[in-house]
Amino acid sequence: MTASRMKCIHQMIERGMIQCITVPEKKMGKGRVTIRRRTPDLRLEETKQHRHLLKIFDTFSSVQNNTPAYYCGFDPTADSLHLGHMTLLSVLLSLAKNGFPVIALIGGVTAKLGDPEGKDENRVLISHQQLEKNSIALQEQITNIFQRYADKHNIDSSSFSVLNNKEWYSTMTLDQYTDSIASEFKLVDMFQRAVVKSRLEGKDRDMRFTEFVYQTFQSYDWLYLYKHYGCSIQVGGHDQLGNIEDGYDFVWRSLHQLPTLAGVTVPLVVTEDGQKLGKTATNVVWLDQSKASSMSLEQYLAGISRTDLISLSLKLTNHSIAELQNTSQSGILEMILEEIMPLLT
């Protein structure tokens, strides 16, 4: 792997863009490391105090040597992404700028099932027609963001791909699902997942079967992308850590070999009261700023603390911590707008 590509990973960790790196348990023992937030000028090497931590970083570095593709999934439960997704996109954009192929995967099928992560009740079901409309809208939105970024930074647009998992599930039979996917999962493991236990032991004691098997489809997505696109690394919000780890375990079991895989999680953008900033949050900040229900990005940024503004700027812009600390709050706001708005309009 070139020095510039490894430097890109280090910089994203230092800027707080990456929260956690996870590698398969069979190679790495426990196989998970949380990268704690630190001052961005602190050298990565100085944080490697534990042998287990060193091994995980070494394994993760070895994955990079073959220039793997990274992917991140986006379920089309709305017709626009929101600000919380922008930190995920920023990671993909930074990776592409440094020579990695990146894939944004639209979950045209998985969105029908409903991801239970981060939910304490059943998701509202979305009609087939609305999912189709949302999928088309997200495909166009992400493609445009990728293209505008590629034009701005003179990147080959072939580094970016936008796919829809409907492509492979639309021709899959029930027999194929049971033989190739369902047979690789054990109920005892599925019931032990934190999200399943919390839902079944919560006040409603309820969980749809579609949500229960969501992880099986997300896991197969990774296997398909690994086989057809050389996708060795999955990126997701930190609430996706369990799904990511289930995914690489599934790929290992399915291939009967141990390809080098890894997962990267990104810190969630949260509201003042600590809630995940998403579609159900009050005054959601849609990336499609023309949506009538959208709070403007400028309005949102003007309402958060200086600390949160600097943290968000480190994730969304290339400005250094020193530069940000010596810039007024209104100046930091303008820096974020200057970086993001050209990608959205």
Confidence grade of residue 210 (pLDDT, cut at 50, 70, 90):
confident
Distance, in Å, from the CA atom of 213 to the CA atom of 224, rounded to the nearest integer, reads 17
pLDDT at 34 over 60: no
pLDDT of res. 208: 84
pLDDT at 242 over 70: yes
24-38, 177-191, 274-288, range with greatest mean pLDDT: 177-191
Distance, in Å, from the CA atom of 344 to the CA atom of 140, rounded to the nearest integer, reads 11
Give mean pLDDT, residues 30-47: 38
pLDDT of res. 227: 94
pLDDT at 30 over 50: no
pLDDT of res. 170: 93
Identify the bridge partners of residue 69 per DSSP, sorted by sequence position. 231
pLDDT of res. 124: 72
Q: Are 210 and 123 in contact (CB under 8 A)?
A: no
pLDDT of res. 243: 87
Whose CA is closest to 61, among 232, 268, 266?
Answer: 232
Distance, in Å, from the CA atom of 273 to the CA atom of 283, rounded to the nearest integer, reads 14
Q: Using only C-alpha atoms, what is the Rg of the chain?
A: 20
Pick the residue with more confidence: 59 or 22? Answer: 22
pLDDT of res. 4: 64
- The DSSP code for 123 is P
At 211-224, the pLDDT tens digits run 888 999 999 999 99
Pick the residue with more confidence: 4 or 89? Answer: 89
Mean pLDDT for the chain overall: 83
Identify the bridge partners of residue 162 per DSSP, sorted by sequence position. 104
Query: Domains of the chain by range and CATH?
Result: 3-271 (3.40.50.620)
Distant-in-sequence contacts of 19-22, Cβ < 8 A, 24+ apart: 19/238, 19/265, 19/266, 19/267, 20/238, 20/241, 20/263, 20/264, 20/265, 21/56, 21/57, 21/60, 21/262, 21/263, 21/264, 21/265, 22/241, 22/244, 22/245, 22/262, 22/263, 22/264, 22/265
pLDDT of res. 103: 98
What b/e readout covers 129-166, taking b as 16+ CB neighbours within 10 angstroms? eebeebbebbbebbeebbeebbeeeebeeebbbbbbbb
Distant-in-sequence, close-in-space partners of 127: CB < 8 Å, separation ≥ 6: none
Segments of 2-76 assigned E as strands: 20-22, 32-34, 69-74
pLDDT at 35 over 70: no
Angle between helices 329-344 and 128-153 (to 10 degrees): 110
Confidence grade of residue 55 (pLDDT, cut at 50, 70, 90):
low
Pick the residue with more confidence: 294 or 195? Answer: 195
Q: What percent of the chain has pLDDT over 90?
A: 45
DSSP line for 180-219: HTGGG--HHHHHTSHHHHHHHSSSS----HHHHTHHHHHH
Distance, in Å, from the CA atom of 250 to the CA atom of 88, rounded to the nearest integer, reads 23
pTM: 0.86
Distance, in Å, from the CA atom of 79 to the CA atom of 291, rounded to the nearest integer, reads 10
Pair of tokens at residue 244: 């990511």
pLDDT of res. 49: 46
